[in-house]
Structure 1
């Protein structure tokens, strides 16, 4: 902006030397022209800086949105997981009682999200598998309301869909049409989203594989009066190198037995990225308590997807959900 000022100042000095010899009428015309010229230069300069600042801001925002993030609390709060370019496989969980919608006669869900994560931002070429943890219910995953594009077939409890590899950049919505009829009548739809991007960033585990456990209950305001648990942290020794994450998934387990489930995951070769405990929507229930924990796990290249799925089935069948 100062550069423009100095240029216009020098031009004005030169023009002034020439116009002092003109008569009054011509001086007015020339001075008006100079004023318009200087004003135009100032506006162009201002617009240049504004546009560049806007572009810089938009670029920064875009980079922020695509920074990998699989933190359990973030997934609980936003429903979104962002994967890095090193992640080859994502296993999306259908949590227990996910087929119940809002406003039913009895709220039977544990968590707001029908899928964990509800929205996934993945790199082009990532393989996605849906795993059902909804006990005693069957599900079907359809992509973009088009069975010819992707149809998982029937998924009973603790079974996985056939994989879907997303090779095209874009947004893909998916639904599970086989849900509770009372929820259907009230307009509830089990749906999630996959956003595919050209991701250049790499996903690393949380520092020291931090595990978060419940210590106290806080009550934030929300339409569902959801109560989220305050947290404390404990450090686990990582089982997987931060730079060797290839498979990622989320699981839901009762908080009261979190230590046991964390150990089960570790014994099966998983690393625990993070956990987040929350007061569930269902409230106090036999065997499950009133708090659940989201557990984000990762696996490296030495664990195949089939091995990971098999371990998830074994762990899932031990859960007290009914």
Structure 2
């Protein structure tokens, strides 16, 4: 096989031999032509590789972006959940003490995310609901305030917003202006982001990766085993219709997981972390994220009712 470089060298050698029989002016013209030929071949080769790299990168990037992922550890690490085209409802949690920001004299938050998940990639047509788990504090969710796209009104603790259905592709940032005064002075903004795409992929249940019976006890997550799949039942890949995240004290995670199961909700995955507060009354120093799912037999109202009941049992104050 002859490479592009081999061809270039042979053409150059032949051209040089022929150029010996012509005068200096012609030689200059021939040399210029040879240089242009070599440069052109090189640029074509470079352009081919460069463009191929760009195409490959773009394809890879899009595939990665569109690949559903609701793993609890990933949501903790990246703040982002990626939903499949089969998911119709996303319930975003406002975690307890979310109204406190970074840089306050005393860190009051449990987790460095204002919302769980703080960012989400969703399919066009997905319905989003915000649920407040911030005890003794009120919130308002606002999207594009200047255009009046969405205003939830006041959300007391353990209440849900009206649903917002996203039928337009694009990025939608949202905020909650109800934050601690010291956080305001520090420039903290309680914000999240939703990216709406034409999702080509289906969200698969972790239940199919590790089948665990509904009566299997859940072991609290330790430092050595921080991320685990803890499904309550084997859910069909295409039957996940609603997804949400919840936060509970790790020391009582077994009890709360069972509460979710008893109410017909599945636990897709869990992740425990040392919280920002350290040792706090009744909550310990470690919290656990529960990523839960529901199939079409569980309505959104039923799921929200379950969250209210479980939330009222939490020791957060």
CA contact (8 A) 2:230 2:270 kept: no
Deviation per CA, 1:181-213: give whole Å up to 9, x if none.
Answer: 222222222111111111111111222268784
RMSD: 2.4
CA contact (8 A) 1:169 1:195 kept: yes
TM-score of the two chains, using structure 2 as the length reference: 0.89
Give the total of aligned pairs: 310
1:215 aligns with 2:222: yes
Corresponding residue for residue 301 of structure 2: 306
Within 5 Å, give how 1:125-204 maps onto structure 2: 125-146=125-146, 148-204=148-204
Pairwise CA distance, 1:236: 4.3
1:250 aligns with 2:256: no
Corresponding residue for residue 261 of structure 1: 256
Within 5 Å, give how 1:113-132 maps onto structure 2: 113-132=113-132
CA contact (8 A) 1:212 1:274 kept: no
Corresponding residue for residue 37 of structure 1: 37
CA contact (8 A) 2:210 2:229 kept: no
Deviation per CA, 1:17-71: give whole Å up to 9, x if none.
Answer: 7655434542343133223212222222222211211221122122212211111
Deviation per CA, 1:169-189: give whole Å up to 9, x if none.
Answer: 111111111222222222222
CA distance 1:156–1:96, change in 2 (3 Å): same
**Distance in 1 of aligned mates of 2:146 and 2:219:** 39
CA distance 1:79–1:293, change in 2 (3 Å): same
Deviation per CA, 1:48-103: give whole Å up to 9, x if none.
Answer: 21121122112212221221111101111111111111111000000111111122
Question: The residue matched to 1:214 in structure 2 has which SS?
Answer: coil
CA distance 1:44–1:271, change in 2 (3 Å): same
Question: The residue matched to 1:208 in structure 2 has which SS?
Answer: coil
CA contact (8 A) 1:132 1:156 kept: yes
Q: Which stretch shifts more, 49-58 or 22-31? A: 22-31
Question: The residue matched to 2:237 in structure 1 has which SS?
Answer: coil
**Distance in 2 of aligned mates of 1:192 and 1:236:** 28
CA distance 1:212–1:186, change in 2 (3 Å): farther
Corresponding residue for residue 80 of structure 2: 80
**Distance in 1 of aligned mates of 2:108 and 2:24:** 87
**Distance in 2 of aligned mates of 1:235 and 1:292:** 16
Question: The residue matched to 1:215 in structure 2 has which SS?
Answer: coil
**Distance in 2 of aligned mates of 1:37 and 1:138:** 71
Corresponding residue for residue 215 of structure 2: none
CA contact (8 A) 2:124 2:166 kept: yes
CA distance 1:132–1:236, change in 2 (3 Å): closer
CA contact (8 A) 1:239 1:266 kept: no
Pairwise CA distance, 1:243: 2.3
Q: Which stretch shifts more, 236-245 or 295-304? A: 236-245
Query: For structure 2, which runs of at least 5 residues remain unmatched after alignment?
Result: 213-217
TM-score of the two chains, using structure 1 as the length reference: 0.88
Q: Which stretch shifts more, 1-10 or 235-244? A: 1-10
CA distance 1:209–1:141, change in 2 (3 Å): farther
